Amino acid sequence: MAKIIFLVDDSATMLMSVKNTLELAGFKVETAEDGVKAMAKLTAGLKPDLIITDINMPNMGGIEFIKKARALPGFRFLPILTLTTESQQGRRDEGKQAGATGWLVKPVGGADLLKVIKQVLPGA
């Protein structure tokens, strides 16, 4: 049973890039364009094994999305990675406090991304 990764980013290029990398590696990928749409999918019953989210998005940004997702039942220990152009320590701390599992700075090559995913999803 392929693991499901939920990808949240407002950039179509990012979605295409990361989705293809993950699908090539054998994952099943679900996508959403912002925090609001992502929350809608999660509340509708999507149960991913990992969430990878951007930080700067319209309607609802990544930090707020992580906070809201963590509050959902069954999402307390789900690994959530951020994938963003932001790199400053202050923003990383915000992400950590919101409940992010790790911080990735764009751009991330396929091999590096899969290495990090293997660390947070040991069975993958």
Partner 1 sequence: MAVQSKNNAEFKKSAWRFFLISTGFAVVLVGVSIVFHSTLNFRLGRYEDALFLGLAWGVFSVSQWRLLRLSQKTVKLLPEDQVDANNATLRYIFNRISAYVQDNLAFNNKSNVDFSAASDKHTIALSKAIGVLNTQITHLTETLAQHDGDIDQEFHLFDDVATQTAQTITQYLTLSADIDNALREHITQIATSLDDLKSKLNTLNRKQHEALPSVDNTQNFREIEDIVYLHLSIDNAIDEQLKVISYDTHQSALMLLDLMRHLSDDAESIVKYISNANEKNISKMESDMENSVKFIISIEKFIQNIQEIPDKLRADIAAIQSASGVIDSLAHLVDSIKEISFQTDILAVNAAIQAAHAGEAGLGFKIVADEVRKLAVNSNNAAEMIESGLEKARHTIQDGLKFKFLDEIMLQMNGASQVMIYVQQLQDSQEDMQQYYKTLFAVINQNNTKLAHDISEVLGNIQYEDVVRQRVERIQEVMVMRNDLLRQFAAQLTSDGSAEEIIMQLNNTLNDYLSRESHHNNSLQAKDDEDALPKFELF
The residues of the shown chain that bind partner 1, judged by CB under 8 A, are 9, 11, 13-14, 16-18, 20-21, 24-25, 56, 85-92, 95-96, 100-114, 116, 119-120
Shortest Å distance, C-beta 66 to partner 1:
11
Q: Are 66 and 76 in contact (CB under 8 A)?
A: no
For partner 1, which is the closer residue by CB, 10 or 30? Answer: 10
CA–CA gap between residue 59 and residue 100 (Å, rounded):
19
To partner 1, the closest distance from the beta carbon of 44 in angstroms equals 27
Beta carbon of residue 43, minimum distance to partner 1 (angstroms, whole number)? 25
Answer for the pair 33, 77: CB distance below 8 angstroms, yes or no: no
> Judged by CB, which is closer to partner 1: 28, or 106?
106
Output 62 or 95, the one with its CB closest to partner 1.
Answer: 95
Residue that the structure tokens 């999507």 belong to: 46
Radius of gyration for the chain, computed over Cα atoms and rounded to the nearest angstrom: 13
